[in-house]
Amino acid sequence: MSQSDSTPFGDRLKPALERLFAAVGSLWLRYEKGLADRYETLRGAQLTGEERRVLAVVGISLAAVVALLALNPVDAVVPLPVPSLTVPFVVSTLAIAGMYLLLTLGLNVQWGYAGLVNFSVIAFWGIGAYSGALLAGSGSPHELELHPLYGLGLAVVLSVVLAVAIGLPTLRLRADYLAIATLGFSEIIRIIILNEEWLTDGGLGVGGIPTLLSTWPFSLTEPVMAALANLTGAQPRTVFDLFLVMAVVLAVFLVLRRTQLSPWGRVLRTIRADEDIAQALGKNSYWYKMQAFVLGSVIMAIAGWYYAHHVRFMTPGELEPIETFYIWVAVILGGSGSNRGAIIGGFTVVIILQGTRLLNETVDWILFFVTVDASALRLLLVGLLVIVVVRLRPEGILPPQREHIWPGALSERDGGEDK
Amino acid sequence: MVEQLAIDLVEWLAGYSQLVASGLVFSSIVVLGSIGLALVYSVGDFPNFAHGDLMTVGAYTAVVVNVILGFHLAIALVVAMVATAFVALGTDKLVFRPLQGKPIELLITSIGVAFAYRALLLMGFGPSSRSYDVGGRGGIDWVRETFGVTVTPRQAVIVLVTLALVTVLHIVLQYTTLGRMMRATAENKDLARVSGIRTAQVLAAMWLIGGALAGAGGVFLGLELVVRPRVGFSILVVLFAAVILGGIGSVYGAMLGGFVIGMAHEMAGLFGDISDALPLLPGFGSEYGAAVAFVLMILILVVKPSGIIGGKTSA
């Protein structure tokens, strides 16, 4: 196993990596082909002309924003009134973006697949985050300092139990009831976490939350992470978390896409389109909706658990209902029911959120006579986006491809048989 | 036996008469809010999540008239009711009308509208809380002597004006042509239209009435608590609990539900007393008013989803 002294390490690494990528790639292609053979919806995975046009518009506008920020170094001759975009900022934003993608994928299961209006995304996220924080954090009032995996277990169990508890009375009724009940649930979780100091330390928050997988595999990969950190100027931990969360996102994405194509996903989409049809076909729509609701809620709780261990400090202030609607904007913007859309929508919303944070100074500069609060601006932006997207493009940027079953309410575009 | 029980009950309640008094005040606010919500629910067929923030619009309109322009709060109340009514009507025309017949889209859009209202108020007035430039904070002496309860003139005004507004609404609904048209439209829009009722105008009237009542509720909310950008959104869960308790779409149900939920909201501390007596349950205080309302709502959904005065349960 002794290393040859003439060839540097990098030169030998390269062909090895190439071989690895080729192997993974061919496995991937085979998997895709297998799926495509079985499911008509995936056949011809290339984008349709309209999708390409939409993606081009979105891509160009996003690229323009990024370019504007990136081509604006601090020492420019004529600095734009925009703060410049630094690499460490991008890395840490992406590490947070992973969390948003998980939330978006989770809501897509509920709203996109099954048509369930869940307004307590942030509550399930908070349950996951506080499960991690309270069991593992050194600043937790319980002083348990358990391994983060216990927190993950608690997050999953709690989110399952609470999702079932909300679903039991409301999923039998029409969609509004779930919307109202989840909005109430979200407020109550926030009030409990804020007020029950014996449980959560209340408004003070919980600190000292350990990082994830800190002994293994982080220590193992530390040289690589440190090298990447050197390259980007970010913290090694942030780089590691970025890889970690993106791996989770990829796994969840693949699982969800698989379930969407499965008979289970088909039944859910039928329920969303017309619940009476699903029931007439002998499907227990209540039970299917419950499964989708629980699955989505668990994904949200996992996202929260990751976030708590990523930022390492949790306060109840992060459980504001507005956060739920960032995720809603992401899902309906991306295309309800489409996992690709959920990813694109998630990224778009992260760019909007971070963008308003960055652009706040610019807005102050333009409207120097009015001081506009960044949070108010974001609130307005999210509100208007919801209104505009639902009105003008209810199917989102990337609607599910060749959907055979589509809700009546959204079918007019296809000259459909609405009502 | 029964008499003794009744006497015991009255005595027990007398110990909590202060809670009952403040419950009446909060109930008034909830009733005003939930009537408008129920009206929109019955004709628009969607839960308007912007209704809480519509109340905030009313509260801030009164801030402008009362605090900034310096008029009396009574004038501010009237202006707030008119302004909120037209904000509601304008929002319907601009945002909700084009989506007519799509309840889920309307529901999601209404959340966007709620945030837009709040964001504009935040931009205009900032995040700090404000209160009205009016006296009446001290208790009324004769009420304290007679009933042993502290009621401020502000609270008395809230309850009396609410009673007056609800009475007027009842008369309008029952004894005027407009009221009959409104009831017919709420019952069956298509049939109403076939019968020659101009449903578009009736719908506009309902938005105006619901908006005006929300405006009044918002002013009272600001009078009883403080005016904050989030004050209306915070009460939204309570309003929905009231509407569901009464039966979705039923105006009289909303009145009854608003009364019950408002009382329960203020009695949260009392529930806390009970749970303190039972060592197994964790004690909780008045900050859980919304939670009590929420639990009542869930119970109603389990037992009788159509509400006390039956409403709509299925699409």
Amino acid at B204: A
Nearest in space to B220 (alpha carbons), one of B299, B142, B134, B91: B134
Enumerate residues 6+ apart whose C-beta is below 8 A from B101: A419
| A183 vs B102, B237, B314: nearest CB | B237
Give the distance from residue A415's alpha carbon to the nearest chain B alpha carbon, in angstroms.
16
Query: Which strand (E) or helix (H) includes residue B107?
Result: helix B103-125
- Is B109 contained in some domain? yes
Max alpha carbon distance in chain B (Å)?
Answer: 63
Domains of chain A, residue spans: 81-320
pLDDT tens track, chain A, 419 positions: 444 455 566 566 667 777 777 777 777 677 666 666 655 554 445 566 666 777 777 777 777 766 666 665 555 555 555 555 667 777 888 888 999 999 999 999 999 888 899 999 999 999 999 999 999 888 788 878 888 889 999 999 999 999 999 999 888 887 888 898 998 899 889 988 888 888 888 778 888 788 887 666 666 677 777 777 777 777 777 888 888 899 999 999 999 988 888 889 888 888 888 888 888 989 899 999 999 999 999 999 999 999 999 888 888 888 888 889 889 988 988 888 888 888 888 888 888 787 766 665 555 555 544 556 677 878 888 899 889 988 887 777 777 765 555 544 343 333 333 33
Do the domain assignments include residue B277? Answer: no
**Rounded distance between C-alpha atoms, residue B111 and residue B116, angstroms:** 9
Q: Give a yes or no: residue B143 inside a domain.
A: yes
ipTM of the complex: 0.84
> Which of A332, A115, A346 lies closest to A249, judged by CA?
A346
Q: Inspect the interface and report whether the beta carbons of A391 and B98 lie closer than 8 Å.
A: yes
SS3 category, A69:
helix
When pLDDT is averaged across residues B300-306 and rounded to a whole number, the result is 81
Please report residues of A whose CB lies closer than 8 A to that of B42: none
Per-residue model confidence (pLDDT) at position A198: 83
Q: Do the domain assignments include residue B259?
A: no
Total domain count for chain B? 1
Cα–Cα distances in Å, from B178 out to B67, B88, B172?
Answer: 36, 19, 7
Cite the DSSP H helix spans in A335-399: 339-366, 374-392
pLDDT of the residue at B74: 92
Tell me, yes or no, whether B28 lies in a domain: yes
Out of A376, A383, A419, the one facing B113 most closely (by C-beta) is A383
Closest by CA position to B182, among listed B251, B244, B114, B232? B251
CB contact under 8 A, A383 and B119: yes
Per the CB < 8 A criterion, the answer to whether A163 and A107 are in contact is no
Q: Which residues 6+ apart lie within 8 Å of B202 measured at CB?
A: B43, B178, B181, B182, B185, B192
Please name the residues between 115 and 144 in chain B that touch chain A, using a CB distance below 8 Å: 115-120, 122-123, 126-127
Cross-chain Cβ contact A187/B290 below 8 Å: yes
B86 phi, psi to nearest 5 deg = -75, -30
Q: Which domain holds residue B61?
A: 21-232
Angstrom distance (rounded) from CA A107 to CA A111: 6
Q: Is residue B286 part of a domain?
A: no
Best mutation target, B111, B120, B313, to test chain A (most A CBs within 10 A)? B111
Which residue of A178, A367, A390, A395 is the best one to mutate when testing the B interface, meaning the one whose CB has the most B CBs within 10 A?
A390
Under a CB-based contact definition with an 8 Å cutoff, are residues A131 and A120 in contact? no
Contacts with A, B 272-311, CB within 8 Å: 282, 284-285, 287-288, 290-291, 293-294, 297-298, 301-302, 305
Residues of A in contact with B45 (CB under 8 A): none
